Structures are given as C-alpha cells and as structure tokens.
Amino acid sequence: MASPLVHQAAALLPEQGMTTKPAATDRVGTLVLAMATVLWGRDARADNEVRYAWSRLAKVAADNGIPMPSDPLRVSHFTDYRRRFCTPAVVSAFGRALEDQARSVAIDLGLFPLGSIDLLNPNATNVIVADGYWVAEASSVGRTVYDIHLGKEVVHPSRSKTGNPRLAEFDDVGRTHGYCFIDYQVRGLAKRLIVCLGVEPAPMGDELTTVMAGVKRHRQALGERFGVFVYDGAFSGKHHIEVRELGVLSVNKPKGTKSLSQWEKLRNTPTTNLNKVIDWTFDTGCTAQLEVAAGLMWQLTTDIQSRFVRTRVLDRTAVRIVAAGDRERWEVDLVVRCEQCGQHHTLTVDPNVKMATRKGTVNLPEQFRILAANGGDAMRTTYGLRNNSEAFHRQLKTDTNYGDRAGSLARHHVELDMLLFMLAKNALAWAEHGGTILARQNYSL
Ligand SMILES: [Zn+2]
C-alpha cells in the first residue's frame, strides 16, 4: 500500500462511480484488494484473510492515505468494480501502461545498462526472456467435447440450477486460446532482482505473433539497452531473422535438441548425408569440409574408411552487427584449424542466409545458432535465464494457490489477474532493491 508502483497503477484505472453511494475505498484500496484475491488464490480465502488481518491492513491503509471502511472490505467490492469498469479494452490499456512502468522500474533498479553488449558472452541484465504460459479455462460448460461413451461430440452440460451457466469464453474450434499468455522477464545479479516486463494474452494461442510484436515494442522503448532475447518452443529461422534484424541477438535451443549438452554426442561421428557437406575454399587456396549440426558449425575430417567425421566445432571469435539501412545485418567469425597448412583461417558467415552445400543449401537461420551449446557458460547462463519465467509461472500456480485453472470465466479477467500478480512482484522487487526514480515522479507515468 506504500508502494509508489501501486499508487501509480491505481491512477491508471477508471474512477469508481459515486452516483448511488460513496465508494467504500478509493482505487488504491480496490487495487490492493484485487491483488489480495490473486495472491490468496481464491475469493473465499481472500475474504477470510482480509477479515483476519483487517485491523493491521486498515492501519497501513490509513498511514498511506487510503480510505477504508470500518468493516473489512469484501472481495465482492473488487469484483463489482471489475464488472462495471474493467472492460477488455481497459484491461489491455492497463497492461500496456504497466509494461511502461515495468521498463522504468527495471532501469531504475540498474537493469538494462547502456554500453556495448558482448554478444559472445552477454550480461544477464541486457537479456529479455519470454515464455508462453497456459491456464486451463475456468469451466468447460458449453464447450464441445468428444464423449467416448456416446461416440460423438457433445456440448458439456451445465450443472447450474439458477439458469446462469458458468460459460468460459472459447473460440469457434472449441478451445479457450484466450488463456494462453506470454510473459517477459529481466533479471539482475542480486537475488530476487527480477522485473516482470509484461504479461499479455496470445489470441488463438498464437504465441509467436504475440511474442514478435512484444520484442519490437521492448526494443523500440529500450533501444540498445535490450540486446538479447531468449525464447524457445516454436521459434524458427524466420523468427531468428526478424529478431536479429532489429539488432537483437536471438537465443534458443537448436531444433531437435532436448538438452544443451546433446551436441557432444555428435563429436567423432561420421556425417550420414553427404549432400549436407559444405566445401569451403579460403583465400589461401586451402579447403575445408564443414557441416552444420545441432546449431554448430563442425569441421569434418576424413577417416581411414573415407568417411567425413565431425571432428571439432568451429570457435566463434567475433559477432558483429553491421548497419545496413533499416535492418541490421550480422556477421559471425569462425576459426578453422587448417588440415592442409596448419594455420588458422577465419570464416565469416551471415547467420541470416542460406549457405551452399554439395547438393542444396543449409538454412543458417534455422540450423545455426550464434550463441550455441558449445558456448559453455555463456549459453548455459543466458539460456538458463528462462528459469525466471518458469519460476513466475510456478509461483502463480502453486505459491498463490491460483492453481492450473483460471479463477475467472472471462479472458480479460484472467489477464487482469496476471497483471495484478506482475504488479505485486514488481512492487516487491522495487522496494527490496531500493528503487528511487518513481518515488520522485509523484506517482505519475
Ligand atoms: Zn590452410
């Protein structure tokens, strides 16, 4: 209740009407109550907890200039407010404003420092991690499901005896894609120094369209402070190109790999597809045979059975962003230990293009990773930042009793729940790690 973040966020919400009777509390009080419903998971439990802690809560509220009634506030005060004022458009605008707030909070806490980013060994504080997060719909009523006993599609019946079935919103293929959310996180080196930069729904479960728009938004707002983006799942070559063209390094696991150390199994194995061999000639006239596998560029050598064996992974010695109009172009330098002259030769590749092989091409955006598994600590640390997203989901699901199932029937109510959780986490991080700038801004964005 003392957090400037909460006061600032409350000022973004619609005023509550005073037409019939004076409101029990102001928008800050309503917002704090709303956050309590998410942190305590269920409305009934929040009611109990609020009643139990009322004398303490009311005192803290009074200390922070928040009007409170003498009797404990009930959660219905928030749900009434939400029903009357929080339309999908209001929730969506609130989310965008919280995103702005979160970026200022992050910068205020020393994250996203300015200065050039070492793309071979990025600093965690310049990295944004995003992840998709699914919440089951609050109710299956009205949804078409296949009944194995009847052997046909049936509409899930309602048990409602009041004529008010609990209907979740679902699309025309019977799925509640609206419950797919993307969250964005950045972290510092200190413990618990994590800022959630946003939570937004992915309509129709289309994670990548949402994610790509999110990356553009963060890059526009943060500029070169945001230099590395970590994602996984269905991230493909096309998405790597898009992110890199913004000047941001894209990081994910190579296609078809489960663990980061999987590439090690390829060492000293023969390549099975000669069509994929790249014949490379250096300026010196020396030649090398290469292959892209598990996100890495391998140097092949011939064994006594005349097979091409993956002998070593080429080390990356430099990654450059070459300004090229409105789209950034990239270059990666790889070093080959020459089998012919014994010298080292440098091979420069553009990771956004296709490279010719003996028969056909290898699609580097799809197959090759700038920051890859053999990068040792750099890859492990950067990719490991995904744990922050997973921790955010886990906390929401288990620590708060929010559970796997949405607590609200409407998509935008679930979205609001997520935003309230984000606000609560950021307010705590800001208080713990000594944020200062927002306090001076007098709660306005
Ligand atoms: Zn040579």
Ligand 1 centroid to residue 32 C-alpha, Å: 68
Per mean pLDDT, which of 10-14, 139-143, 212-216 is the most reliable? 212-216
According to the model, what pLDDT value does residue 175 have? 54
In a domain, 45, yes or no: yes
Report angle CA 191, 192, 196 to the nearest 5 degrees: 140
Ligand 1 centroid to residue 337 C-alpha, Å: 8
Confidence label for 165 from pLDDT (cuts 50, 70 and 90): very low
Rounded CA separation 20/362 (Å): 69
In a domain, 13, yes or no: yes
Ligand 1 centroid to residue 299 C-alpha, Å: 13
Same domain for 306 and 412? no
Confidence label for 114 from pLDDT (cuts 50, 70 and 90): very high
Same domain for 208 and 278? no
* Residue that terminates a domain, selected from 85, 101, 127: 85
Contacts of 52 (CB under 8 A, 6+ apart): none
Same domain for 56 and 94? no
Residue range of the domain that includes 133? 88-137+176-252+380-440
Class of residue 395 by CB neighbours under 10 A (exposed 0-12, middle 13-18, buried 19+): middle
pLDDT in tens, 89-103: 999 999 999 999 999
Ligand 1 centroid to residue 282 C-alpha, Å: 7
Ligand 1 centroid to residue 281 C-alpha, Å: 9
Say how many domains are in the chain: 3
Ligand 1 centroid to residue 264 C-alpha, Å: 26
Structure tokens at 361: 């091409």
Same domain for 412 and 272? no
Same domain for 94 and 68? no
Same domain for 289 and 268? yes
Same domain for 276 and 310? yes
How many other CB atoms are found less than 10 A from the CB of residue 176? 23
In a domain, 349, yes or no: yes
The enclosing domain of 96 has a CATH number of 3.30.420.10
pLDDT in tens, 266-299: 999 999 889 999 999 999 999 999 999 999 999 9
| CB-based burial, 178-213: b 16+ in 10 Å, e otherwise | bbbbbbbbbbbeeeebbbbbbbbbbeebebbebbbe
* Residue that terminates a domain, selected from 321, 348, 368: 368
Same domain for 243 and 355? no
The predicted model scores a pTM of 0.87
- Indicate if the pLDDT at residue 159 is higher than 70: no
CB 138 within 8 A of CB 405: yes
Same domain for 363 and 432? no
According to the model, what pLDDT value does residue 156 have? 58
| Mean pLDDT over each residue of the chain, to the nearest integer | 84
Ligand 1 centroid to residue 334 C-alpha, Å: 14
CB 40 within 8 A of CB 54: no
Same domain for 237 and 107? yes
- Residue the block writes with tokens 């025309």: 172
- Indicate if the pLDDT at residue 324 is higher than 80: no
Of 227, 243, 240, 246, nearest in space to 126 by CA: 227
